[in-house]
Amino acid sequence: ETGVTQTPRHLVMGMTNKKSLKCEQHLGHNAMYWYKQSAKKPLELMFVYNFKEQTENNSVPSRFSPECPNSSHLFLHLHTLQPEDSALYLCASSQPPSSPLHFGNGTRLTVT
Amino acid sequence: QKEVEQNSGPLSVPEGAIASLNCTYSDRGSQSFFWYRQYSGKSPELIMFIYSNGDKEDGRFTAQLNKASQYVSLLIRDSQPSDSATYLCAVNPAVETGTASKLTFGTGTRLQVTL
| Residues B84-104 pLDDT 10s | 999 999 998 766 666 777 889
Does B100 sit within 8 Å of A50, measured CB to CB? yes
Chain A residue numbers touching B108 (CB-CB < 8 A): 42
Q: Which positions ≥6 away from A92 have C-beta within 8 Å? A: A4, A32, A33, A35, A101, A102, A103, A104
Give dist(CA A78, CA A13) in Å, integer.
Answer: 10
In the predicted model, is pLDDT for residue A1 greater than 60?
no
In the predicted model, is pLDDT for residue A59 greater than 80?
yes
pLDDT value of position B17 = 97
Task: Please give the residue that has the higher pLDDT: either A99 or A71.
Answer: A71
> Which residues of A touch chain B, with CB atoms under 8 Å apart?
30-31, 33, 40-43, 45, 48-50, 55-56, 88, 90, 94, 96-106
Report CA Rg, chain B.
14
Give dist(CA A51, CA B57) in Å, integer.
Answer: 33
In the predicted model, is pLDDT for residue A104 greater than 60?
yes
Of B43, B46, B97, the CB nearest to A97: B97
Nearest CA in chain A to B6: A42
Of B36, B90, B102, the CB nearest to A56: B102
Of A98, A102, A106, the CB nearest to B46: A102
Distance from CA of A67 to the nearest CA of B (A): 17
In the predicted model, is pLDDT for residue B77 greater than 60?
yes
Of B49, B102, B107, the CB nearest to A100: B49
The model's confidence at residue A52, banded by pLDDT at 50, 70 and 90, is confident
Does B44 sit within 8 Å of A103, measured CB to CB? yes
Task: Please give the residue that has the higher pLDDT: either A57 or A19.
Answer: A19
Q: What is the mean pLDDT of chain A?
A: 92
Q: How many CA atoms lie within 13 A of B69 on its CB side?
A: 11
Q: Is A77 left (phi over 0), alpha (psi -120 to 50) or beta?
A: beta
Give dist(CA B13, CA A112) in Å, integer.
Answer: 40
Give dist(CA B22, CA B73) in Å, integer.
Answer: 4
Contact B23, B75 (CB under 8 A): no
The model's confidence at residue B13, banded by pLDDT at 50, 70 and 90, is very high
Give the residue from B68, B90, B81, B82 showing the smallest Cα distance to B21: B90
In the predicted model, is pLDDT for residue A2 greater than 70?
no
Nearest CA in chain A to B44: A103
pLDDT tens sequence across B15-53: 999 999 999 999 898 889 999 999 998 999 999 999 999
pLDDT value of position A98 = 73
The model's confidence at residue B62, banded by pLDDT at 50, 70 and 90, is very high
Chain B residue numbers touching A50 (CB-CB < 8 A): 98-100
Phi, psi torsion values for B53, nearest 5 degrees: -55, 145
Contact B9, B71 (CB under 8 A): no
